[in-house]
Amino acid sequence: MRINNGEKPFFPLWLSPIQVRILPVADQHAEKAISIADQIPFRVDVDDRNLKIGKKIRDAEKEWIPYTIVVGDKEIDGETLPVRPRSGEQEDLTLNELIVRIQKETGGMPMTNINTPKLLSKRPVFVG
């Protein structure tokens, strides 16, 4: 098993409830993050909660999100995005490169969109 070898466990990409999470660094980056999310034809959400970026990254890791993208000042004007796969190191990819990669990884498998709000701040929170 992966966990016994010190590797992070993960779901197959096609099976993950959320395949890509976009993390805006600050409120002024949220619009760009939403714009990116709208262009990705997979199960994607945006963590627009008023939390520090480190907390957002930890939450994505705890939820086993396969791909995370951090959007900051550099990404507003840039062509590439810092994509961090759960299974490896961060890479700079264009949006099209990311889409092609996910299509290859999920090829032939069922694809259904989620029926929850794209923004994490709009989702119900269960306290117990």
Hey, which residues does 125 pair with through a beta bridge? none
Instruction: Tell the CATH superfamily of the 9-106 domain.
Output: Anticodon-binding domain (3.40.50.800)
**Which pTM was predicted?**
0.90
Q: Contact, 8 vs 31, CB < 8 A?
A: no
Q: Which residue has the tokens 């791909």?
A: 67
CB atoms < 10 A from the CB of 62, how many?
A: 8
The model's pLDDT over 65-116, given as tens digits with 9 standing for 90+, comes to 999 999 999 999 899 999 999 888 999 999 999 999 999 999 888 888 888 8
- Collapsing DSSP states into helix, strand and coil, what is residue 31? helix
The model's pLDDT over 33-64, given as tens digits with 9 standing for 90+, comes to 999 999 999 999 999 999 999 999 999 999 99
